Amino acid sequence: MTDMKKISFLLLTMALFAVTAYGCNSSNGGNETSGASGGNGEAKIEFLTKETFKQKIWDYEKNPRTWVYEGDVPALIDFYADWCRPCRMASPILEELSAEYEGKIKIYKIDTQVERELASVFQISSIPAFLYIPMKGQPTMDKGLKDKAAFTRIIEQILLKK
């Protein structure tokens, strides 16, 4: 095999591997829930679209200048992408927190690759990014991977104000 054929074969193999790996890591299609339902202590994390965001969080088209939270409990929104390793590392932590704080807060996810308008509304320039929404007052944006203890501190101080 000539050097050029070896290089072409290697590039093709790498491309096929990358496509296969990406396909295996894609999940939830932007609107399903994760976790198990009911009875076993695991809460669900809901994936928001533009429409469900406007219904459950804030209708920024109806109230473009005023934050009007539509939820009934404080919320944490994870802005993520499937290809983002720190985002994938945050997911199991958020699932644990969703179960631990079930009924006290809601945790949502927004895929920034699918919901580009929502990412733009919040000027998401790096991920993971997290929006903490208390019942009263303005939401707080934060970015970067955190450990469970850091998330817990933020939830207690900002969302539950303990």
Residues acting as catalytic residues: 84, 87
DSSP three-state, residue 79: strand
Encode burial over 28-49: b for 16+ CB neighbours within 10 A, e otherwise: eebeeebbeeeeeebbbbbbbe
- Strand order across the beta sheet in which 33-34 lies: 33-34, 45-47, 106-111, 75-80, 129-133, 140-143
Give the rounded distance of the alpha carbon of 90 from its chain centre: 9
Q: CB count, 10 Å around CB of 134?
A: 17
